[in-house]
Structures are given as structure tokens and as C-alpha cells.
Amino acid sequence: MTAKDLDAVFQRAATAHNDLMHERLAAALEVRNVLTADQLQKAASIRAGMKQLHAQMHQLLGADGAD
């Protein structure tokens, strides 16, 4: 395999990643458009709780999880 081959593979992977992120954002916007204000607030609260749990995990396990 040559550097040119790897560049082509990397480019396809990058394009697929960008396409996936675009679809993910479009889906998130569609969902937001149908949720009520209360549902959006509950989702934000759940997300904040998940971020807090994630931070606690990092604190307990170390930044790389190997500690």
C-alpha cells in the first residue's frame, strides 16, 4: 500500500464522517422542531446530568481510564 492509497482511504473516511455528522445535525434539528419547551428542558437537564456523570467517571478513573 502506498501513501497515495492511504490518502484515498483517508479522504473517503473523512467524507463519510462529514456526511454522518451532517445527517446527525439534521436529525437533531428535526427532533427539536417537534419537541415542546418542557421536553426540550427535560432533555437539557438529562444531558447536563450525563455530562456531570462523565466528568465524575474521568475523575475516578483518571483522564485516560488506565489509572
Does the model's pTM come out above 0.85?
Answer: no
pLDDT above 80: residue 65: no
Check if the beta carbon of residue 38 is closer than 8 Å to that of residue 44.
no
Summarised one tens digit per residue, pLDDT across range 3-60 is: 888 999 999 999 999 999 999 999 999 999 999 999 999 999 999 999 999 999 999 9
The closest alpha carbon to 58, from 5, 12, 50, 10, belongs to: 50
What is the pLDDT, as a whole number, of residue 28?
A: 93
What is the pLDDT, as a whole number, of residue 64?
A: 62
